[in-house]
Chains A and B, each alone.
Chain A
C-alpha cells in the first residue's frame, strides 16, 4: 500500500487525511459566518474566486471550537462539486501509508469514533485515518438541528 497521507493536527491530535482527496492547503483569512447553519460549519471563505465552505474540524469532532481569530490553516477538499476547507491546527507532512487501515480496538472519543476509518501504519507511527465525508457531515445532532 502506498497511499499518500497528509498528516494534520486536529484538536491537538495528529491524524491522517487521504492526500489524494486534498486539493490544496491554504491559509484562511476572512470568514463569513453562515447564520443558522450547523455548528460545525464555521462559515464561508473565498479561494481563487471559489466559495469554500469552511468546516471547523474541532467542532465536527465535538471537541470544542477552533480559535476563530487570526489566520488558520485548512485543507481544501472537493466533495460532490462543492469545495470545503477543513480547518486544522497545523499541517505537517505527506507520508506514505505502510498498511491498510485496521480497526482501532481501543476506545476513542465518540467524535473520533465517528470520523475514524481505522488505524494506519506510517513511518511516523500509527495514525488515525480520517473519513473526510464524515468530517464534513458533522455530528448527528447538528444534522438533526439543521
Chain B
C-alpha cells in the first residue's frame, strides 16, 4: 500500500510540476482549451486516485475543481479570473496535501470549504494563502521517471557486464596471480554485483501491487450489481517485470469485471442453483518456468459455448459449417472474437462486446496468451500466461556426475541429506517416496530423469525439496549441491526448450554453460502427479505437525536382541545386578535392587540369566518396575510416525528410529501388567490435553498415559476427568473435570491445581489424586 501511495504522490507531483507552466498560461488566457484540458486531467486523476486511497479531503477538493472545469469544458461556464484563482488555490492546496502525505504528516485541518465555495460561480475570491510553514517542510523527493526502454538497455548492459566479468575472473584464475590485479578485480566484481542488484530491483515488482486494488474493485462492483462476491487472492509475492505489471493491469481488470458481472449470479439465482449465496472469485498468480500464470476463477454461471456459437453465426463471424467443426474449447475461445458477448443485456460494467477481444490483443502484444475454460453452471477459469522477462535469477547449482545444473531458488523449499536422521527413503511400487520429518513427498532422482549415469547410491545423495509453480512438493535427489549463484538466464534454443525440462541457459563463473531447470517440467518428466500429491501430501501434513518436535527415546537392544525404544521420561536410571538377584517370587519374575524388590519385565519366560543383568528402572512417579536389556544403543529422537501395534501388549508400536525400525515399548502396559491389576481394573480415565501444544503432546502425554489416562484432544467428544492446560491458556468447557494448570515459570506455581511443568512429583501426585478421586 505504501508503494502505491508513493506511486500516487510521485505521479501527482510530476503532473503538478508539468502543470506549473500551464497554470500560468491559463491564467493569462483563460479561454485556452488545451490548457484547460490539461488542468482538468490533473484534477480528474487526483480525484480518481483519492477514491481508492481514501483521502476524503483531496477528493472533495479535486471533485469540486473537476466539476467547475467540466462546466467550462462543456461551455456552460466561461472561465473568468475568479475561477482561475479559485482553481489555482485548489491546485496549490492539493500540492501541499500531497507533500504532507509524502512526508507522512498531518495536514492542518480547515480551509477546504472556502476553496470549494470559491469555485462556485459568482463566488468572492477568498482563496486562503498557502501555509508558509508547510511550504518549508516540503522535501523534494529524489525520484525521477525513466522510460522502461532505457532501463532495458541498462539491464542488458549489466547482464553482459556480469558475463564479461565472469569470463575475466576465469582468465585471471588461469594466469599467474598478481595480488594487485586480483584486488582491483575483486573490487570491480563487487561493484558490478551491487549494480546488478540495484538494476534488477528497479525492474521487478511484486504482482501484489496489481492485486492490492482488486478486493476493493470487486467489492464496489458487486455492490453495484447487488451480488455477493468473496475474493481470494494468492501469489501476491510473485515478482515480475514492472512493465509487465502495467501491461496486464487492464486485461486483468477487464476479466475480473466480466467475472463479477456475467459470471457470478445474484444471490437469489445462486440459491436456486444450489450454490452458496456468496460467489467465489479467486485470483492467483504463480510462476511456471519462464512464464507467469494468472488464474481468475469464478464459480458463476460459466460460459455457454453453444450460445456463443449462435451469436457468432448471427454476427457473421462464423459460417454454420465452420461452427459445426468447433471443439468445445474452440467454442469458448469465441469470446475473444470482436463484437461478441453473451451478456443478454448491456450493463454499465461490461457487456458491450468490446472487451475480451481487446484483452486478448493486449495480452498477445506482450507475448502472452489468454486461455478460457468453463463449465456451464459451475464457473469459468481464465488463465493469463505472460512471459516473465527474468534475466537474473537466484539459483542453486547442483551436479550429477560431472555435469552442473541450476535450480531456481524460488522453487526450493529445503535441502536435506538423504541419509539424515529426519529422512527416510522408501520404494513403493518402484516409485520413490521420501519421508522428511513425517511428511511424505514423492522422490525422483535427477540422474534417472535425465538418463545420466551417477555413481552415487540413493543414500549418498542430497534431496532438494522443490515446490514447483502450481504443484506440491517433491524431492529431487542430486549428487552434489554446489553453490547459490545469481545467474543471468537467457532463453535456450527451441530444441532445448522442447524437452520441457529447462527454463533457460546461463553461464557459470568458469564460463561453461549451465542449464536452468523448470521444476514443474522436472516433476512431469519424473512422472509425478502434482495435482494428486497436493491432496495426499496434506493428509500426512496434519499429524506431522506434532511429530515435528522430536520426542526423546532411549534406544536399546533387548535380551532377545530386538531393537526397542522407551520414552526417556519413564526411565529413571540404569542398574546392573548379578543374575542371582533375579528370581521368581509371588508368581512373577522379580529383581532385588538394594532394599527393594521390583517386578522385572523384558525377560522371556524360559530364558536363563547369567552373569550380570542390566536393567532400566522405570518409574511412573510412584512405583517402579525393572526392565532387563542387553545394551543401550543411543539416545534418539522419534521423528517418524509410529505404526501402532495390532494388539495391546508390551510393544505399543513400531517406528523408524535412527534409520531402522524399532519397537516402541508401551510403558503404560508394562506398569499395568507388572504391578498387578489395581491400575487396570479402574476404568481408564480421560485426560484432555491441548492437541496443538507440542510440549504437552510430546513431553507430558507419555507420562499422563503412563499414569493410566486415555489422552484426548480438545475436539474429542469424550468426557474428560482431567483437563491439563498451560498457564494463560483459555479452557473452553471442562464439565466436571478437574483442571490442572501447568506453569512454565516455577514461581507461578501456586500449588492447588497450578504446578510448575517440570515438577514431576507434583504432576504425578495431581494425576494420582484425580485417579483416586473419580476413578479409584
Chain A residue contacts of B496, Cβ below 8 A: 34, 37, 41, 44, 53
Interface string of B493-516 (1 = CB under 8 A from A): 111101101100111000111110
Q: Which of B404, B494, B507 sits near A46, CB closer than 8 Å?
A: B507
In the complex, what's the smallest C-beta–C-beta distance from A82 to chain B, in angstroms?
4
| Inter-subunit contact A53/B495 (CB<8 Å) | yes
| Inter-subunit contact A36/B495 (CB<8 Å) | no
Chain A residue contacts of B498, Cβ below 8 A: 37-38, 143, 146
B167 is an interface residue with CB less than 8 A from chain A: yes
A51 is an interface residue with CB less than 8 A from chain B: yes
In the complex, what's the smallest C-beta–C-beta distance from B478 to chain A, in angstroms?
13
Chain A residue contacts of B506, Cβ below 8 A: 51
| Inter-subunit contact A45/B450 (CB<8 Å) | no
| Inter-subunit contact A36/B450 (CB<8 Å) | yes
Given contacts A46-B513, A51-B492, contact A37 B499 (CB under 8 A): yes
Interchain CA distance A33-B505 in the complex, whole Å? 12
Chain B residue contacts of A52, Cβ below 8 A: 513
Interface string of A4-41 (1 = CB under 8 A from B): 00000000000000000000000000101111111011
Interface string of B100-122 (1 = CB under 8 A from A): 00000000000000000000000
B160 is an interface residue with CB less than 8 A from chain A: yes
Given contacts A32-B403, A32-B514, A35-B452, contact A51 B490 (CB under 8 A): yes
Given contacts A32-B514, A35-B452, A36-B451, contact A146 B495 (CB under 8 A): yes
In the complex, what's the smallest C-beta–C-beta distance from A41 to chain B, in angstroms?
5
Chain A residue contacts of B514, Cβ below 8 A: 32
Chain B residue contacts of A36, Cβ below 8 A: 449-451, 499, 501, 525
Interchain CA distance A57-B496 in the complex, whole Å? 16
Given contacts A35-B452, A51-B490, contact A46 B511 (CB under 8 A): yes
A49 is an interface residue with CB less than 8 A from chain B: yes
B213 is an interface residue with CB less than 8 A from chain A: no
Chain A residue contacts of B362, Cβ below 8 A: none
In the complex, what's the smallest C-beta–C-beta distance from B261 to chain A, in angstroms?
41
Chain B residues 439-465 with CB under 8 Å of chain A are 449-452
A136 is an interface residue with CB less than 8 A from chain B: yes
Interchain CA distance A53-B495 in the complex, whole Å? 9
Interchain CA distance A32-B450 in the complex, whole Å? 13
Interchain CA distance A27-B502 in the complex, whole Å? 26
Q: Which of B452, B493, B502, B525 sits near A82, CB closer than 8 Å?
A: B493
> A41, A82, A137 — which one has the most chain B CB atoms within 10 A of its CB?
A82
A138 is an interface residue with CB less than 8 A from chain B: yes
Interchain CA distance A37-B513 in the complex, whole Å? 15
> A36, A52, A80, A138 — which one has the most chain B CB atoms within 10 A of its CB?
A36
Interface of B is mostly: mixed
Chain B residues 154-203 with CB under 8 Å of chain A are 160, 163-164, 166-167
Interchain CA distance A80-B493 in the complex, whole Å? 9
| Inter-subunit contact B505/A35 (CB<8 Å) | no
| Inter-subunit contact A38/B495 (CB<8 Å) | yes
Chain B residue contacts of A143, Cβ below 8 A: 498
A112 is an interface residue with CB less than 8 A from chain B: no
Interchain CA distance A84-B163 in the complex, whole Å? 19
Chain A residue contacts of B492, Cβ below 8 A: 51, 53, 82
Chain A residue contacts of B404, Cβ below 8 A: 32
| Inter-subunit contact A44/B495 (CB<8 Å) | no
Interchain CA distance A37-B163 in the complex, whole Å? 25
Interchain CA distance A136-B495 in the complex, whole Å? 8
Given contacts A35-B450, A38-B498, contact A53 B493 (CB under 8 A): yes
A-B contact count (CB 8 A): 79
Chain B residue contacts of A46, Cβ below 8 A: 507, 511-513
How many residues of A sit at the interface, in one of the four size bands?
A: 20 to 34
Q: Which of A32, A41, A80, A84 sits near B513, CB closer than 8 Å?
A: A32
| Inter-subunit contact B163/A44 (CB<8 Å) | no
A30 nearest CB neighbor, chain B only: B512
A49 nearest CB neighbor, chain B only: B163
| Inter-subunit contact A44/B167 (CB<8 Å) | no
Interchain CA distance A33-B495 in the complex, whole Å? 13
Chain B residue contacts of A136, Cβ below 8 A: 493, 495
Q: Which of A30, A32, A35, A37 sits near B495, CB closer than 8 Å?
A: A37
B404 nearest CB neighbor, chain A only: A32
Q: Which of A32, A34, A35, A137 sits near B512, CB closer than 8 Å?
A: A32
B160 nearest CB neighbor, chain A only: A49
Chain B residue contacts of A30, Cβ below 8 A: 512
Chain B residues 276-331 with CB under 8 Å of chain A are none
Chain A residue contacts of B491, Cβ below 8 A: 81-82
Interchain CA distance A36-B505 in the complex, whole Å? 15
Chain A residue contacts of B160, Cβ below 8 A: 49
B167 nearest CB neighbor, chain A only: A49
Interchain CA distance A41-B493 in the complex, whole Å? 10
Chain A residue contacts of B507, Cβ below 8 A: 46, 49, 51
Given contacts A49-B160, A138-B495, contact A44 B450 (CB under 8 A): no
| Inter-subunit contact B525/A41 (CB<8 Å) | no
Given contacts A49-B167, A53-B492, A136-B495, contact A33 B403 (CB under 8 A): yes
| Inter-subunit contact A41/B495 (CB<8 Å) | yes
Chain A residues 103-118 with CB under 8 Å of chain B are none
| Inter-subunit contact B515/A44 (CB<8 Å) | yes
Interchain CA distance A41-B501 in the complex, whole Å? 15
A32 nearest CB neighbor, chain B only: B513
> A32, A35, A41 — which one has the most chain B CB atoms within 10 A of its CB?
A35
| Inter-subunit contact A34/B451 (CB<8 Å) | no
> B449, B492, B513, B525 — which one has the most chain A CB atoms within 10 A of its CB?
B513
Interchain CA distance A34-B451 in the complex, whole Å? 11
Interchain CA distance A30-B513 in the complex, whole Å? 9
Chain B residue contacts of A33, Cβ below 8 A: 403
Chain B residue contacts of A45, Cβ below 8 A: 513
Interchain CA distance A42-B280 in the complex, whole Å? 50
Chain B residue contacts of A55, Cβ below 8 A: 495
| Inter-subunit contact A44/B499 (CB<8 Å) | no
Chain A residues 57-112 with CB under 8 Å of chain B are 80-82, 84
Interchain CA distance A30-B491 in the complex, whole Å? 20
A48 nearest CB neighbor, chain B only: B167
In the complex, what's the smallest C-beta–C-beta distance from B48 to chain A, in angstroms?
40
Interchain CA distance A52-B495 in the complex, whole Å? 12
Interchain CA distance A2-B557 in the complex, whole Å? 89
B513 nearest CB neighbor, chain A only: A44
| Extra pairs beyond A30-B512, A35-B499 (8, CB < 8 Å) | A34-B496, A35-B403, A35-B449, A35-B501, A36-B501, A44-B515, A82-B491, A82-B494
Query: Ordered nearest first, which 7 A-B pairs have the shortest CB separation?
Result: A35-B450, A49-B163, A44-B513, A53-B493, A146-B498, A82-B493, A51-B505
Q: Could you name 28 residue pairs across A and B whose Cβ atoms are closer than 8 Å?
A: A30-B512, A32-B403, A32-B512, A32-B513, A34-B496, A34-B499, A34-B502, A34-B515, A35-B403, A35-B449, A35-B452, A36-B501, A37-B498, A41-B496, A44-B496, A44-B515, A45-B513, A49-B511, A51-B506, A51-B507, A51-B513, A53-B492, A53-B496, A81-B491, A82-B491, A84-B493, A136-B493, A136-B495
